[in-house]
Every structure is written in structure tokens, then in C-alpha cells.
Amino acid sequence: MKILLFSVLIIVLIVACHCKSDCDKLADILTKWNVEVNWNTSDGCCASSEVIFCNSKNDITDLYLEGKTISGDLYDIIGEFNSLQYLCLNNNNLSGPIPESIGNLKELKYLDLSNNKLTSLPDSVSKLNNLEYLYLQNNEIDSELPSKIGNMENLIKLNISNNKFHGNIPDSFADLHELRYAVMNNNELTGNIPSNFHKLSKIEELNLNSNKLRGEIPVEVGQNLNINNLNLGNNFFFGDLPKGLSYETLNLEYFCVENNYITGTIPESFYTDNTDICNNNSQKDMKSLPSSANRSLNSKLLIILINIIVIFYLLF
């Protein structure tokens, strides 16, 4: 019996030694980043810093370390701050991948990793279903958007501009029912805008400028009555503007489809005061449409031709 109790005591002591406080864990990270730790860890970091905020249990809830010239990796241990709600590490020199452990921050509402040199985004980020603001712009992220990004059901603003995101926009993107701002320009996204786009009923701004998107602009874009800023310029969109895309109905403040392959007439009502920024009259010749996009157009024309032949055969 004494041996059993002694063994249990040893186990408890071992576990206790490995259960570091949030302040201790943060001190470890800052030391790896060569950032001076200017608090006494025995007293905790919460009462001695203007960039760290804690709850009543001395768990860190807010961490504001933007513009601290931090260099190095974003370490796995970041996922152990279970009470973290606001994490700002923007305007530093962080590099390498964003760790899978970021998906463990279940309480996180605000994540700003913009203006660093981060290289990849893990699928685990889609587990952050309390996240409202995600800023990843101006990095070197060479990843696809998580296939289950729609699980981030409280996301209000997404900015991934000026990276190397590639692949299609996932169908689950339309499940972001709270999304108001999607800034995704200057990447390498391909495919088309998801046909279930109309489910984004609260979207106000969609910026997909300077990607590799192709196909006809889906009519569903015109079913988002809250949208007022729509930028689809510098892609491979072709064909006429969808009839459902009405300037008067949508009350657009900014509309851009320059340097695509749009045919037909673009109504004058679509021209805004920002004509010096976006020239919707500037469209490319269909003959120069890349083969990958051209195949999509030819496939649609073939389907139309087959339908005409079938109808003619049935009638005559």
C-alpha cells in the first residue's frame, strides 16, 4: 500500500513539473525569439505588461506582440494557450509554417499574423469555429484554402491577400454565413467562384483581383444583395455579365472586372468614380484566352450545340 501511494505521489510530482503556467510558456517562446523577458515569472506576466492580458486564473487571454522585430518560427507551443482569444503577431519577421497546433486555440476570436514571412497554412485552422477575424496578408503562404473552411462559422473578415494561395475556392466557403469581408487578391487561386455563393448573405466586400480564376461569372454573385464592393479584375473570366448582376439592385460602390475576357456591353451604371483605378473597358481578346479556360468555354458551347441537335431531332 505504501509503495502504491509513493508511486502515485511521484506521478503527481512529475505531472506538476510539466504543467507550466502560461507565463512560463510565453517566457520560453520569447527566449527562443531572443526577446527580453521583462517580468518576474514567479509573480506572473499578467500584472507587469501592457501587451499581455489574463483572466482570473492567470491564463493569458490577449497577446499583442506586433512590430517587435521577432524572428524565427511560430512554435508548436503556441497551441497550448487554451484561453487565448486575441493573438497579434503581425509586422514581425516570423518565418516557416503556421503550426498545426494553431487549431487547438478553441477560444480564439482574433488572429493577426499579417506582414511576416510565413510559408504555409494548416488545415487545422478550420477548427477555430469561434474565430471572427483572420489576417494573413503579406506573407509567403503557398497553400490551398482548407477544404473545411466553412466550419469557421463565426468568421466576419478574412484577408489573405498578397500570398501564394492556390487551388480552387472550396465549396464550403459558402458556409461562412457571417462573412462580410473577403479580401483574397494577389494570389494564384484557380477554378471559378462557387455556384453556392449566394449563401454568403452578409457579404459586403469580395476582392478576387489578380488570381487565375476562370469561367463565366456565376449569376449567384448577383444574388448577394449586401455586396457593395466587388473586384474580379485581372483573372480569366469570360462571357457576358450575368443578367442577375444589377448595379441598381446591388447598390455597388465599387465594381471591377478589368483585364478579363468579358464580352458584350458593360452597362454605364457599373462605372464608378474609381475609373482611374479600374478600367472596365479594358478587356482581353478571346483569341488569347489560355487553353485551360478555353476548354471550359468550348465544353459549354458543345453542350449547347448537342441540346440544339436533340431538340431539332425531336421536333422533326
pLDDT of residue 6: 44
> For residue 241, what pLDDT is reported?
82
In a domain, residue 95? The reply is yes
Residue 7 in domain: no
Write the CA distances from 215 to 243, 254, 300, integer angstroms.
Answer: 16, 22, 10
The answer to whether residue 295 is domain-embedded is yes
Tell me the one-letter amino acid at 144: E
pLDDT of residue 163: 98
**Which residues have CB under 8 Å from 39's CB, separation 6+?**
23, 45, 48, 49
Sign of the four-CA dihedral 56, 61, 62, 68: positive
Per the domain annotation, does 118 fall within a domain? yes
CA distances in angstroms from 56 to 59, 81, 84, listed in the order given: 7, 15, 13
**What is the model's pTM?**
0.84
Asked if the structure places residue 8 within a domain, the reply is no
In a domain, 3, yes or no: no
Does residue 142 belong to any structural domain of this protein? Answer: yes
Question: Does residue 5 fall inside a structural domain?
Answer: no
Expressed as residue numbers, the domain containing 99 is: 18-315
Tens of pLDDT, residue by residue, the chain (316 residues):
545 444 444 443 333 435 789 999 999 999 999 988 877 656 678 876 778 999 999 999 999 999 999 999 999 999 999 999 999 999 999 999 999 999 999 999 999 999 999 999 999 999 999 999 999 999 999 999 999 999 999 999 999 999 999 999 999 999 999 999 999 999 999 999 988 988 999 999 999 999 999 999 888 887 777 888 889 999 999 988 877 666 556 677 888 889 999 887 776 666 655 544 688 778 877 666 665 544 444 444 444 555 555 555 555 5
CATH number at residue 31: 3.80.10.10
Provide the pLDDT for residue 20: 84
- Joined together, the cell numbers standing for residue 120 give 504555409
Number of domains in the chain: 1
